[in-house]
Amino acid sequence: MAIRKIVTLGDDTLRKVCKPQEKFDRRLGILLRDMADTMYKANGVGLAAPQVGILRRVCVIDITEDHSGKLEMVNPVIVEEEGSQTGREGCLSLPNRQAVVTRPLKVTARYQDRDGVWMEIETEGLEARAICHELDHLDGRLYIDVMDRELTQEEMEGHIPEDDAEDDAEEDAE
Ligand code: NI
């Protein structure tokens, strides 16, 4: 288990467009493993390679609490979007900040697994939000570029109206 250092806002790496991952080798396996370890240790639900200083189109996502839902996405693309959800979002590269961000409610994404096999996922709610957020990272985009508004310290600790909207959106989608 190796924890990598997460770069934060101000680091140029976060603003670069990442290159496709072309080799599906042991090195990629190690990167994916380290990225998952790093994400879990930081209590995040997603982490993109540029956040650990690697400019490749690679990310990991796991929105579950028991780490049972890990997605390893290599060269991911969103091929379909539907609806919208407005809710709270944070980023491991922007510690102690949160914002309200509007994202598609449902997405279909295509990506390669660690062996280079093309996969497809159709998902919604928080996982769809996480996919949009991580894919943005691969193009040097951060949530602050697309947010509706930033939360105050007080709002971060408490309830905001958008929390209800998020619940409704997820219920509607079930
Ligand atoms: Ni992020």
**What is the residue extent of each domain of the chain?**
12-173
Looking at the annotation, which residues are catalytic? 134
d(CA 27, CA 84): 37
* Centre of ligand 1 from the C-alpha of residue 118, in Å: 24
d(C-alpha 80, C-alpha 95), whole Å: 30
Return the beta strands (E) in the chain as ranges. Answer: 46-48, 58-61, 71-82, 85-89, 99-103, 106-112, 118-124, 149-150
Instruction: Calculate how far, in angstroms, residue 103's C-alpha sits from the geometric centre of ligand 1.
Output: 14
C-alpha of residue 26 to centroid of ligand 1, in Å:
25
Tokens 């985009």 sit on residue: 141
* Domain boundaries 12-173, corresponding CATH code: 3.90.45.10
Residuewise pLDDT in 10s, the chain (174 residues): 799 999 999 999 999 999 999 999 999 999 999 999 999 999 999 999 999 999 999 999 999 999 999 999 999 999 999 999 999 999 999 999 999 999 999 999 999 999 999 999 999 999 999 999 999 999 999 999 999 999 999 999 999 998 887 665 555 544
Strand ranges (E), 26-168: 46-48, 58-61, 71-82, 85-89, 99-103, 106-112, 118-124, 149-150
**47 Cα: distance to centroid of ligand 1 (angstroms):** 6
R_g of the chain, CA atoms, integer Å: 16
